[in-house]
Amino acid sequence: MIGIGRRGLLAGTTGLLAAPGILHAQPAGGVKIGLVAVQTGPQAALGNQLKDGFALGLRHLDGRLGGLSAETIVIDDELRPEVAVTKVRAALERDRVDFIVGVVFSHILGAIMRPVTEANTFLISTNAGPSTFAGRGCNPFFFTTSYNNDQVHAVMGQVSQDNGYRRVFLMTPNYQAGRDAMAGFKSKFRGEVVDEVYVPLTQLDFSAELAKIAAARPDAIFTFMPGGLGVNLVRQYRQAGLANIPFLSTFTVDEATLPAQGAAAEGFFSAASWAPNMDNAQNQRFVRDFEAQYNYVPATYAAQAYDGAMLLDSAIRRVGGNLRDKDALRAAIRAADFRSVRGNFRFGANHYPVQDFWLLRVARRADGKFQTETVRKVFENDVDPWAAECRMR
Partner 1 sequence: MTTQLLLVQALNGLQLGILLFLVAAGLTLVFGVMDFINLAHGVQYMLGAYLGAAFAAATGSFWWALLLALPAALAAGLLLEVLVFRHLYARDHLSQVLATFGVILFVNEGVKVVWGAAPLQVPVPALLEGGIEIMPGLQYPLYRVAVLAAGIATALGLWWLVERTRAGMLVRAGATNAPMVSALGVDIGRLFTLVFAFGAMLAGFAGVLAGPIFSVEPGMGDNVLILAFVVIVIGGIGSIRGAFVAALLVGLVDTLGKSLMPDLMRLFLDPSAARQAGAALASMLVYVAMAAILAFRPAGLFPVRTG
| Interface residue list for partner 1 (CB under 8 A) | 6-7, 10-11, 13-14, 41-45, 48, 174, 179, 195-200, 202, 204-205, 207-212, 214-215, 217, 227-228, 231-232, 235-236, 239-242, 256-257, 259-262
> Least separation, in Å, of the C-beta of 368 and partner 1?
13
Q: Which is nearer to partner 1, 30 or 298 (CB)?
A: 298
CB closer to partner 1 out of 139 and 257 = 257
Q: How far is the CB of 114 from partner 1 (least distance, A)?
A: 29
Q: Compute the least distance from the CB of residue 215 to partner 1, in Å.
A: 5
From residue 262, alpha-carbon distances to 142, 201, 231 in Å are 37, 22, 9
Whole-angstrom distance, CA of residue 295 vs CA of residue 284 = 15
In angstroms, what is the minimal distance from the CB of 154 to partner 1? 19
Kindly tell me which of 232 and 374 has the beta carbon lying closer to partner 1: 232
Q: How far is the CB of 200 from partner 1 (least distance, A)?
A: 4
Residue 35 · residue 99 · CB < 8 Å: no
CA distance 350 to 348: 5
Burial of 324 per CB tally in 10 Å (0-12, 13-18, 19+)? exposed
| Minimum gap (Å) between residue 142 Cβ and partner 1 | 28
Indicate the angle between helix axes 300-318 and 44-60, nearest 10 degrees: 40
* Residue whose CB is less far from partner 1, 203 or 284: 203
CA trace torsion 207, 181, 160, 222 (10° rounding): -10
Long-range contacts of 213-219 (CB under 8 A, 24+ apart): 213/169, 213/171, 213/242, 213/245, 214/240, 214/242, 216/167, 216/169, 217/245, 218/165, 218/167, 218/168, 218/169, 218/194, 218/245, 219/160, 219/165, 219/166, 219/167, 219/168, 219/191, 219/245, 219/246
Nearest-approach distance from CB 228 to partner 1, in angstroms: 5
Q: Work out how close the CB of 71 gets to partner 1 at its nearest, in angstroms, rounded to a whole number.
A: 25
Spell 134-158 as b/e; 16+ CB within 10 A means b.
bbebbbebbbbbbbbbbbbbbbbbb
* Identity of the residue, 202 or 381, whose beta carbon is nearer to partner 1 in the bound complex: 202
Nearer to partner 1, 264 or 272 (CB): 264
* Element (DSSP H or E) covering residue 125: strand 122-125
Q: Closer to partner 1 by CB, 130 or 173: give it.
A: 173
Residue closer to partner 1 by CB (options 1, 113) is 1
- How far, in Å, CA of 272 to CA of 372, rounded? 10
Neighbours of 66 (CB within 10 A): 19
- Tell me the CA end-to-end span of the chain in Å, nearest whole number: 26
Strand partners, 170: 196, 222
Q: Which is nearer to partner 1, 22 or 263 (CB)?
A: 263
DSSP 343: B
Q: How far is the CB of 296 from partner 1 (least distance, A)?
A: 8
